[in-house]
Structures are given as C-alpha cells and as structure tokens.
Amino acid sequence: MKIINVDEMKPGMILAEKIISPKGQVLADEGTAITAQQLLHISYYGIKELKIQDEKDAIEKYQFDAPDEFIGETQSWRILNSEEFKEFKRAYEKCSDRLEGIISDFVEKQGALDDTELIQEIHSVFEKHSTGLGIMAMMLNIQEIDRSTFRHSVNVAIISRVCGGWLGITDEKELDVLTMCGLYHDIGKSLVPHSILTKPGPLNAEEFGRMAEHPLLGYNLLSDLPIDRRIKLAALQHHERNDGSGYPYGLTKDFINPFSKIVAITDVYDAMTADRVYRAGICPFEVIAQFQRVEPSKYDQNVLHVFLQNIAQSYIGTGVLLSDNSRGIITMVKKNALASPLIKLDDGSFVDLQERTDLYIRACI
C-alpha cells in the first residue's frame, strides 16, 4: 500500500481504503479500480491524497465491459438489428477491406495510393447517415466487429470527418483531406512486427521503441507521394502533444498541424473505446472523463471541447449500466459536466450523476 497525490492518480489504480466524502458519503470502495469519472467527483471535494494497493495487486482489475447477462431490446440491440446498421456495416467492412488492400499493395510495390474508390465509399456512408450523431451511434456498435489496424484507421477517418463537421469545416475537399489524414495516420504500423501490434499486454521498453517508430516510418512512406502535405504530417504528428510531451520529436503546439491535432484526439478516443486483446473497450463516458482530467495543455482545447461535447450529446437516448448495476437511459447532458449526465432509471426515477458522486456510468448498453 502507498499514499499518492490525487493529481497523480491514474484510472485503474486499486484503492487500499474507501473514499469518504466530507458528508460521509462513500465515493468508492476499498479494493476497486478507480475510474476517471470517480476522480472527477473526488476533485469536487478537495481530497488531496488516496491510499492505493501496489501495482502487482492491481493487474487485470480494470474492466468496464457490460455483463454478459444483458438481454432484451436495448438501444444497441435495436441498432444492431436495424436495416440501416446492416447497410452501414457492409459499407464499413468494404472500406476496411479496401484500405487493407491499398496499403498492402503500396507497401509491397511502392506504387500509387489509389484511394479514389475508398473516399467514394466513405462519402456514401455520410450521405446515408447525414448527421454526425447518427454516424456516431453506428460507430458505438461497430466496435464489436473487429480490432485490426485497418479497422482502427477507418474508425479514425470517419470520426475525424465527423469532428471536422462539428468544428465548422464545410468544404468537401478539406473534409476529404481530413478523412485521408485518418485513413493513413497509422500506415507506418505496416512496417512494425505483427507480434508487437497484437501483443496481449503492455509492451516492454524495446517493443515500445519499435512501436514508437511508426509515425516516422509512416511519414517516410508517404513523403514522396503527390498528396496533400497535411496527410503526411498526420502520419508523423498524431502522437505529438501541444505541451511537447509527445513523440517522435516532442513538438509543441505551434509546430503541430491543425489536422494532426484533430487526428491526435480521434485516434486516442477510438483506441480507448475499442476492445483490445488484453482488455475490453472503455465506456465512452469514462473516456470523456479521462480527457477532461488530462493536463489541459496536451491537446488543442478548442477541438477537444467541441469533440467531447458532441460525443456526449450523441449518447442521449442510449441505455447505460451504472456502477451499482442499475440500468437507465441518458436523458440530458450538461455542458459543465459532460461525464455526469442525467439518467432516467428503469423504474422511472431520475438520477443526476453530477450530484450522485457515488455513481458513475460503467457501460453503454
């Protein structure tokens, strides 16, 4: 057991004792993994330090997936069984398979990136699902399909294009460039050993070093191509951070391209919400809370604010599982408390998670 400053706490750390509010309310139980939503709540009470278990005792406890026993007509069930989703899924899988073929051919033959058909497929997805909110509802459920680098790249491309619309970008050519920034941001991973990409657990120092090469590898693959420079920069800069804490060069905000700043956020969002071989995907509201707790200087705050606000709004009407295993539907999201919406429970009563700091959203269902 050790005592740690709350500012240094990370989601997933295991508590060594209960967290009690000044009013005597239990905010979190001993032996549980702390969540970003709980850490946001704790900050309201001015709690400065917490006791946590040693790291070796915390392994494999950070899980936020919904229990298997959920059955019945949840919103996810309705979406998954709708004709609209089936059509979306077909277009999505076609895009992913096409991207895999394009990148494989390019890396093996060093030919042109013939992505005209791919961009048209993505256009068709947006034409049939005209609002960003509708597309994000589909994306929430598409997460169950596949976790490959190519699926992730299509996810980042779609989410980046949606984010561009939320930011007020209306020029279709600009949105196409932003979409391609997402499509090719991870192209350098095609040169990273497959065993590292699919390792079921944290990477060691040597493996992380190989993985951290992928932005530069991707930039080098794209550098001589006659494509928009911002696509090349997104491959190079999507792990850079405004405060200089990113890689490969530790660039600060004035040296990071605006489209790279968008892809940096959408890349992290998709990576955190998607399932991995070593953990289940994290609930979107847990991701929102984690973004809100991150040092504000890491990401472009204008982009992040618009993105998180719209993401939270996109889940209004979505079924959720709360930390006490009660179920409900998100009915309202407040701008000043995006990770703590108003929930209508199955029994018809309402719970405001901004006030009920002992509760948090465990999963969307």
Residue type, 160: S
Furthest C-alpha separation in the chain = 66
- The answer to pTM > 0.85 is no
Beta-carbon contacts of residue 331 (< 8 Å; ≥ 6 apart): 316, 317, 341, 342, 343, 344, 350
Residue type, 242: N
What sections of 81-115 are H helices per DSSP? 83-109
Which sequence positions are flagged as catalytic?
189
Q: Check residue 276 and give its pLDDT.
A: 53
Residue type, 251: L
Q: Check residue 186 and give its pLDDT.
A: 94
User: For residue 344, how many other CB atoms are within 10 A of its CB?
Assistant: 14
Q: Check residue 146 and give its pLDDT.
A: 47
Q: Check residue 110 and give its pLDDT.
A: 66
Q: Check residue 156 and give its pLDDT.
A: 94
What are residue 12's phi and psi, to 5 degrees? Answer: 105, -20
Question: Strand pairing partners for 334?
Answer: 337
Helix or strand or coil: residue 49?
strand
CB burial string 101-124: b at 16+ within 10 A, e below: ebbeebeeeeeebebeebeebbee
Q: Check residue 59 and give its pLDDT.
A: 39
Q: Check residue 66 and give its pLDDT.
A: 37
Q: Check residue 105 and give its pLDDT.
A: 84
Tokens of 332: 């309202």
pLDDT along the chain (365 residues), means of 10: 82 84 80 82 79 62 40 59 81 86 83 77 73 71 63 91 95 95 94 86 87 95 93 97 95 97 95 62 84 84 94 87 92 93 95 91 83
Q: Check residue 51 and give its pLDDT.
A: 87
176: exposed, middle or buried (Cβ count in 10 Å: 0-12, 13-18, 19+):
middle
CB 345 within 8 A of CB 327: yes
CB 259 within 8 A of CB 233: yes
